[in-house]
Amino acid sequence: MFKLSKRILSAAVSALLLTSALGGCAGTAGQSSSEAAAPSEAVSSAQAGTRTVTDHAGNTIELPAEINRIVISSIMPLPSVVALFDGAAAKVVGMDPSSMAAAKNSILPKVHPEILNASTDFLKDGSINIEEVLKLKPDVVFYSADNTADYETLTKAGIPAVGFSTSKFKFDTVETFDNWVTLLGEVLGQADTAKQIADYGYQVEDEIAGTIKAAGDSLKKPKVLILFRYDNGTIKTSGSNFFGQYWLDTTGAENVAKDLKGMAEINMEQIYQWNPDKIYITNFSPYQPDDLYGNSIEGFDWSKVKAVQDKSVYKFPLGMYRWFPPASDTPLAMKWLAMKNQPELFKDVDMEKEVKEYYQRFYHYDLSEEELRQIFNPSSEASGLKK
């Protein structure tokens, strides 16, 4: 079991004293949002019945005093994060089709079944159909802060649009999640549960870093390849400025694609040269470890790769959402990766117990054994893509 650091304990105690409200993913990797953006801060509007927030793009947005209808366009993990706020899941009236595919194959609808009522018709091939958005009568639309075209389309239609960034926080998964919930807290006016998860994420990060640092020069880091998107004959990995780099740096592994940027397209020849010790497949891809073990993907020979030969290919779990990007299960994802990458250092971690206790603590939900198996064995359908 992890030990609580004094620094984090102090921060957690301080967080409890706060009385003010606090708080795709992947499609914009490699782009940067406005670094000059001011910290997000909700302020009162001079106009009665409205208020303003400053989003991650640095835009000041006037919002209705009460938010009842939310559309989430291009930040795919965000529906599961919004669902952490009291009553907010029922307010989500639109989401990305990929978010819906993940939701239908996740634990999220077990905890918040109303999330499945959201429409996906307003998006096609990643593009907003503004007429369909207007039919949903949103009080606010959440979009990727890097996507200026979406912002212009929405604001021109008179729809308040709040930008959430995946890139502004240097692809630090815990910090990104923290800033998402802080901004959501300002928009929705409440954030206790979500802020507690963000604080716990920093705690876990500290504990893992301390354990790895204590190992010193004796630490052997496995060479790891992340298959971020792998479908239709194309392989994309996670380079140095994407969430995969953070995950591997934090949990004691070497990213074989560290010299590449963002979501980089690669081929088998490059993979043969890297010859990774371990491979992780995200739930943005329909493939499973058995597809690599059985060498059943046409046009790709995985039999020569060490990770495949050693049966060290792993599918990222899927709980409330896919575990690769920032999401409400982020502290669990960090523990799982640490256990896989440094099994000796983290041999005392019982992931099934960790997940059960986490869901009880933060979601007030008791997982069944079947649901626990589902989290660790997500279906290919969760990608929203076909093999």
**71-102: b or e for each residue (b if 16 or more CB lie within 10 Å)?**
bbbbbbbbbbbbbbbeebbebbbbbbbbbbbb
List per-residue pLDDT tens for the chain, 387 residues long: 443 333 333 333 233 222 222 234 444 333 333 333 333 444 444 445 898 999 999 999 999 999 999 999 989 999 999 999 999 999 999 999 999 999 999 999 999 999 999 999 999 888 999 999 999 999 999 999 999 999 999 999 999 999 999 999 999 999 999 999 999 999 998 877 788 999 999 999 999 999 999 999 889 999 999 999 999 999 999 999 999 999 999 999 999 999 999 999 999 999 999 999 999 999 999 999 999 999 999 999 999 999 999 999 999 999 999 999 999 999 999 999 999 999 999 999 999 999 999 999 999 999 999 999 999 999 999 999 988
CB–CB of 12/59 below 8 Å? no
CA–CA distances in Å: residue 323 to residues 169, 208, 255, 336, 368: 18, 17, 18, 10, 19
For the chain, domains (ranges, CATH) are 23-190 (3.40.50.1980), 199-383 (3.40.50.1980)
Work out the number of other CB atoms within 10 angstroms of the CB of residue 189: 15
**What is the chain's length?**
387
Alpha carbon 82 to chain centroid distance? Answer: 12
Which residues 6+ apart lie within 8 Å of 63 measured at CB?
50, 51, 52, 53, 139, 140, 160, 162, 187
Q: How far apart are CA 123 and CA 56, in angstroms?
A: 22
Work out the number of other CB atoms within 10 angstroms of the CB of residue 214: 9
CB–CB of 108/82 below 8 Å? no
